[in-house]
Amino acid sequence: MRAFEYAAPRTLDEALAVLREHGDEARVIAGGTALVTMMRQRLVSPGYLVSLRDIRGLDRIEADNGGIRIGALATHRDVETSPLVRERLPVLAETFRRVASVRIRNMATVGGALAHADPNQDPPVTLIALGARVEICGTDGRRALPVEEFFRDYYESALEPGEVVIGVVVPQLAPASGAAYVKFLPRTADDYATVAVAATVSVDPDGERCRAARIALGSVGVTPIRARGAEGLLAGQRFGAELLRGAGEAVKGAVDPLSDHRGSAAYKREMAGVMVGRALTRAWDAALVSARGTR
């Protein structure tokens, strides 16, 4: 590993100033699970590391208009075990629980994982299905982006030089709605998904028809993908095998998987169709339970 300078500013403004001063040479570090691995492999060799660890309040998980705001420095384990997340959005706690091993979840942060923009991660998939937004801060001010617009290419995000992810805001589920995350994991429990799908389904008050749905997939392209075509097929329809098949076919047309040691592109495409059916079935079941509760 190449030698580097290390700064641990106490405030966000200080951190942004350091980033500005060192430009291309500087990288932000939070949990370090991704960056340190890449540095040890000498894939990246920043001359300056700016740690966000000592910035107070950046790790908070708090209620936000019925939904939840998660600070960038919250660890995966924090989200997994947060009573607030478990109560309001259990699917999100479950998604974070599926990430790697507990040792990694204790270190990896929510903001760091987003900034890393690895298309095989679990949380972005569920965050997209839930309609979450990423909060970004730079010297010119703050902005927010829907999570699906934050990912631009393989390990490339919408972050401009000098910008930092400061949090993610997840809205509450609509009434009579359910959500599910399914991870196809044929190898080891701590592996990346071969295909991952998250879905939310909202049903009519009588539970007969789908009102709206959101579907997102991971590990099937250079970024996480939102399957808008399949979502459109569901609105106004009754649940059934035919509908799930149609959604599966639409999803297969929307994904663009990469062949790797977890499977060929063709195999992942087929499995994406299968896993979408499973995710929708679970989300729909949860929506029916929720609809009964509100009647």
Partner 1 sequence: MTFTQECVIAVERERLWDFLMEVPRVASCVPGVEGVEAIDAKSYRGNLRVQIGPIRLSLHGTMTVDEQDRAAWRARMRAEANDRRVGGGIRARMSLTLAPGEGGTRLRIETDLAILGRIGEFGQPVIKKKADALLEEFAQNLGSKLGQGG
Interaction site with partner 1 (CB under 8 A): 27, 38, 41-45, 117, 153-156, 222, 258-260
Is the CB of 257 or the CB of 277 nearer to partner 1?
Answer: 257
Is the CB of 42 or the CB of 295 nearer to partner 1?
Answer: 42
What is d(CA 109, CA 75) in angstroms, rounded to the nearest whole number? 4
DSSP class per residue in 195-208: EEEEEEEEE-TTSS
Name the minimum Å distance from CB 261 to partner 1.
9
Is the CB of 159 or the CB of 168 nearer to partner 1?
Answer: 159
204 alpha carbon, distance to own chain's centre:
27
Name the minimum Å distance from CB 75 to partner 1.
21
What share of residues in the chain are helix, strand, coil (percent, to 5)?
Answer: 40, 25, 35
Name the minimum Å distance from CB 43 to partner 1.
5
**3-state secondary structure at position 125:** helix
Name the minimum Å distance from CB 36 to partner 1.
13
Is the CB of 44 or the CB of 235 nearer to partner 1?
Answer: 44
Q: Is 102 left (phi over 0), alpha (psi -120 to 50) or beta?
A: alpha
Name the minimum Å distance from CB 85 to partner 1.
29
- CA distances to 139, 185, 198 from 182, in Å: 38, 9, 6
Other C-beta atoms lying within 10 Å of the C-beta of residue 11: 11
Is the CB of 160 or the CB of 242 nearer to partner 1?
Answer: 160
> In the chain, which ranges are continuous DSSP H helix?
12-22, 35-40, 76-81, 83-88, 90-97, 102-107, 110-116, 123-129, 147-150, 228-234, 241-254, 265-294
Residue 186, Cβ density class (10 Å: 0-12 exposed, 13-18 middle, ≥19 buried): exposed
Is the CB of 11 or the CB of 264 nearer to partner 1?
Answer: 264
Please list, in sequence order, all residues whose beta carbon lies within 8 angstroms of the beta carbon of residue 260, skipping any fewer than 6 positions away: none
- CA distances to 14, 137, 151, 181 from 161, in Å: 16, 11, 15, 33
Name the minimum Å distance from CB 27 to partner 1.
8
Name the minimum Å distance from CB 143 to partner 1.
21
Is the CB of 13 or the CB of 156 nearer to partner 1?
Answer: 156
Phi/psi for 54 (5° steps) reads -90, 5
Name the minimum Å distance from CB 258 to partner 1.
4
Is the CB of 139 or the CB of 259 nearer to partner 1?
Answer: 259
